[in-house]
């Protein structure tokens, strides 16, 4: 009986954890090609403890240029600019009209803007997002999605920058240590450093283990200046 209760609690914990993971404000595309101009989409999973999301402000990451926000369910946007480079967008705010605020936290929202990404492959960019919610009685509440990896608090939305690549074989020199290869190579068929190989796909991992002369790439990933072959 005790075991049943414990396992039920464990399952409930896992479900709660996965639900909160899905509920974060997150980038719709977890990986993007460095240096490209793309449409960044951020998904807003929930409001603040039952209150509908009323406004969102996104701090534009350093190195990102050519920002042009798109209108959304929140209506028109407002921008702030860099004090020195007055053409450089520093933040974008989407805010609803009060009449459009919903009585409860029922909706999923997507906000988007066009931008040119930094030309820095094998790094990640983080979008710090400030969320304002509005209850039915007009009370405002706030949530800060600004924590970087290793920091306490609600996590900022992240996107991993991968190098431009084509289907087939691609050769890269790694600019810095990459301890977790899954961040950048989840969609690659296989990654090689010398005779060591990595794949996110478990079936391919089994084939790597079964091939004579091939080792699984070590758990600490690849190091700066390593030369790697990647097949997409």
Does 28 bind other proteins (CB under 8 A)? Our answer is no
CB-based contacts of 30, cutoff 8 Å, min separation 6: 158, 159, 160, 186
User: Which residue from 83, 87, 166, 203 is in contact with other proteins, where contact means CB under 8 A?
Assistant: 203
Does 207 bind other proteins (CB under 8 A)? Our answer is yes
User: Which residue from 118, 120, 189, 226 is in contact with other proteins, where contact means CB under 8 A?
Assistant: 189
Pick the stretch among 4-12, 84-92, 128-136, 196-204 that binds other proteins (CB under 8 A): 196-204
| CB 162 within 8 Å of CB 171 | no
User: Which residue from 20, 80, 173, 195 is in contact with other proteins, where contact means CB under 8 A?
Assistant: 195
- In the bound complex, what is the minimum distance in angstroms from residue 181's beta carbon to other proteins? 16
How far apart are the C-alpha atoms of 207 and 48, rounded to whole Å?
47
Q: CA 113, 60, 82 angle in degrees (round to 5)?
A: 115
Backbone angles phi, psi at 49, to 5 degrees: 45, 55
Tokens of 155: 């996590």
- In the bound complex, what is the minimum distance in angstroms from residue 208's beta carbon to other proteins? 6
| CB 1 within 8 Å of CB 23 | no
Pick the stretch among 12-20, 48-56, 119-127, 184-192 that binds other proteins (CB under 8 A): 184-192
User: Which residue from 6, 62, 169, 180 is in contact with other proteins, where contact means CB under 8 A?
Assistant: 169
How far apart are the C-alpha atoms of 159 and 157, rounded to whole Å?
7
Instruction: Please report, as ranges, the residues that interact with other proteins according to CB under 8 A.
Output: 169, 189-190, 192, 194-195, 197, 203-204, 206-208, 210-214, 229, 231
């Amino acid at each position: 009986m005790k075991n049943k209760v414990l396992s039920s609690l464990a399952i409930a914990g896992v479900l709660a954890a996965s639900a909160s993971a899905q509920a974060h404000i997150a980038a719709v595309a977890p990986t993007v090609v460095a240096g490209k101009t793309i449409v960044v989409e951020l998904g807003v999973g929930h409001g603040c403890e039952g209150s509908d999301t009323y406004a969102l402000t996104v701090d534009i990451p350093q190195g990102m240029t050519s920002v042009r926000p798109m209108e959304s369910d929140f209506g028109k946007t407002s921008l702030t600019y860099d004090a020195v480079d007055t053409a450089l967008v520093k933040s974008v705010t989407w805010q609803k009209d009060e009449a459009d605020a919903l009585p409860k936290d029922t909706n999923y929202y997507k906000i988007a803007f066009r931008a040119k990404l930094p030309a820095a492959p094998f790094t990640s960019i983080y979008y710090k997002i400030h969320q304002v919610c509005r209850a039915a009685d007009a009370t405002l509440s706030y949530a800060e999605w600004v924590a970087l990896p290793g920091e306490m608090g609600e996590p900022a939305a992240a996107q991993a920058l991968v190098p431009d690549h084509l289907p087939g074989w691609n050769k890269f020199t790694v600019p810095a240590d990459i301890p977790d290869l899954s961040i950048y190579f989840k969609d690659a068929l296989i990654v090689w450093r010398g005779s060591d190989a990595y794949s996110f796909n478990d079936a391919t991992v089994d084939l790597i283990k079964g091939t004579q002369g091939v080792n699984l790439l070590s758990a600490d990933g690849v190091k700066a200046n390593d030369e790697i072959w990647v097949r997409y």
